[in-house]
């Protein structure tokens, strides 16, 4: 495991615990060294200072010669060196098979309104632009989201949320919220009301829960919502292990979509590329995101244009 590879762990025996694999650091470092005396690997410093691609750091492939008691290298973090995924347990949420393809290439983007989160409208526009199609949709309320998601003729390959999350008093568990606090839709979107609104995801979309400023989204709680989407047919779900702020949510979401949609990267590769892209801005917090699904999952190719199907 010294070289980049793929790591997968699947919860078993009804466990809700997901080990924080992305944050594991496996190079020698003395935890007694004061933080202000820790130093970053010189090769990494040079790449980051010059605006280079962190993926080109030689330490990922050859190992870091300078890492030690007081020197930290990005290559030591599993989430930067490897592709990491948490596949579902078959008898709990995934049905009888795993999914390797999500599709079609359209997105339903659900966000809180602009007056609750500045910049979210522009962010939604950037996410939709990755799909290059007018079939994608942006909604800003629970009611609008269920209306769009439950229509049998609509098929969104990606369900993207930028919202808040927390415990729902009506659903009795974790929910994600698109509506302002105190409004009627504040019961949120949860596992139970996905069923109640007949949201069938038999086209197997990829779901991104980019829930910001939400302390309640801990791994043992997130996995219940993850399984709610996957039991309805979702191919994979991406969530965060810790509370994140809008600036990180915007950056990671856009960089992941750039890799997954525009770059045609697999789920595991796209998450790692997004992490490394953030690292290029001296930000390691892409390690907070977890991919629940198979790392080989990819988005369906774009449908051929009708003109290309007509005989000459």
CATH of the domain at 279: 3.40.50.1460
Q: Cβ contacts of residue 211 below 8 Å, gap of 6+?
A: 161, 162, 163, 164, 165, 176, 217, 239, 240, 244, 249
Same domain (yes/no): 113, 37: no
Q: Give yes or no: residues 172 and 56 share one domain.
A: no
pLDDT at 91: 56
Q: Is 176 part of any domain?
A: yes
Statement: residue 165 has pLDDT above 70: yes
Q: Do 193 and 62 belong to one domain?
A: no
Q: Is residue 250 part of a domain?
A: yes
Top mean pLDDT of 7-21, 98-112, 171-185, 221-235 is at 98-112
Q: What average pLDDT does the segment 211-229 reach?
A: 72
228 has pLDDT over 50: yes
pLDDT at site 311: 46
pLDDT at 87: 85
Q: How many CA atoms lie within 13 A of 83 on its CB side?
A: 17
What predicted TM-score, i.e. pTM, was given to this entire model?
0.90
Residue, of 109 and 62, whose pLDDT is higher: 109
How many domains are there within the chain?
Answer: 2
Look at residue 312 and tell me if it is in a domain: no
Instruction: Judge whether residue 307 has pLDDT over 50.
Output: no
Q: Has residue 233 got a pLDDT over 90?
A: no
Share of the chain above pLDDT 90, in %: 54
Does residue 47 sit in the same domain as residue 145? no
Asked if 146 and 292 sit in the same domain, the reply is yes
Q: Give 134's pLDDT tier (boundaries 50, 70, 90).
A: confident
Q: What is the pLDDT of residue 92?
A: 53
Whether 50 and 83 have beta carbons less than 8 Å apart is answered as no
Select from 219, 91, 284 the least CA-distant residue to 274: 284
Task: Name the least confident of 16-25, 27-36, 94-103, 148-157.
Answer: 94-103
pLDDT at 186 over 70: no
Look at residue 306 and tell me if it is in a domain.
no
Omega of the bond leading into 104 within 30 degrees of 0 (cis): yes
Query: How far does the chain reach from its first CA to its final CA, in angstroms?
Result: 53
Task: Using the predicted structure, report yes or no on whether residue 95 has a pLDDT greater than 60.
Answer: no
For 24, 150, 221, 232, 289, the CA distances from 226, given in Å and listed in that order, are: 23, 18, 9, 10, 13
Residues 75 and 87 in one domain: no
Q: Pick 221 or 275 by higher pLDDT.
A: 275
For residue 37, tell me if it sits in a domain: yes
Same domain, 143 and 271: yes
Q: Is pLDDT at 213 greater than 80 in this prediction?
A: no
Instruction: Please report whether residue 283 resides in a domain.
Output: yes
Is the pLDDT reported for residue 166 higher than 50? Answer: yes
Domain contains 311: no
pLDDT band, very low/low/confident/very high, at 169 (cuts 50, 70, 90): low
User: What is the span of the domain harbouring residue 68?
Assistant: 6-81
Q: Is residue 133's pLDDT more than 70?
A: no
- Tell me the average pLDDT across 281-305: 87
pLDDT at 303 over 70: no
Q: Would the pLDDT of 184 be above 80?
A: no
Residues 63 and 92 reside in one and the same domain: no
pLDDT at 177 over 70: yes
Predicted pLDDT at 185: 45
* 72 and 90 together in one domain: no
Whose tokens are 């966000």? That residue is 111
Within-domain flag for 235: yes
76 pLDDT higher than 70? yes
């Amino acid at each position: 495991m010294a070289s980049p590879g793929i790591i997968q762990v699947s919860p078993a025996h009804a466990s809700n615990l997901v080990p924080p694999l992305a944050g594991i650091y496996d190079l020698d470092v003395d935890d007694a060294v004061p933080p202000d005396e820790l130093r970053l690997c010189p090769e990494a410093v040079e790449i980051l200072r010059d605006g280079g691609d962190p993926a080109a750091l030689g330490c990922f492939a050859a190992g870091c010669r300078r890492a030690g008691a007081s020197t930290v290298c990005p290559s030591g973090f599993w989430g930067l060196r490897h592709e990491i995924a948490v596949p579902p347990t078959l008898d709990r949420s995934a049905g009888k098979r795993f999914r390797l393809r999500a599709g079609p290439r359209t997105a339903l983007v659900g966000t809180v309104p602009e007056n609750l989160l500045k910049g979210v409208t522009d962010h939604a526009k950037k996410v939709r632009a990755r799909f290059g199609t007018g079939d994608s949709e942006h909604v800003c309320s629970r009611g609008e989201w269920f209306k769009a998601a439950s229509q049998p003729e609509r098929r969104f390959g990606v369900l993207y949320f930028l919202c808040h999350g927390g415990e729902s008093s009506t659903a009795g568990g974790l929910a994600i919220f698109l509506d302002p606090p105190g409004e009627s839709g504040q019961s949120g979107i949860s596992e139970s009301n996905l069923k109640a609104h007949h949201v069938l995801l038999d086209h197997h979309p990829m779901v991104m829960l980019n829930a910001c400023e939400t302390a309640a989204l801990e791994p043992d709680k997130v996995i219940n919502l993850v399984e709610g989407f996957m039991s309805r047919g979702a191919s994979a779900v991406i969530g965060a292990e810790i509370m994140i702020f809008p600036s990180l949510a915007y950056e990671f979401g856009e960089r992941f979509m750039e890799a997954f949609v525009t770059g045609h990267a697999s789920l595991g590769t796209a998450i790692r590329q997004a992490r490394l892209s953030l690292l290029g801005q001296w930000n390691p917090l892409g390690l907070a995101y977890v991919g629940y699904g198979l790392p080989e999952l990819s988005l369906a190719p774009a449908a051929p244009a009708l003109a290309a199907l007509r005989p000459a």
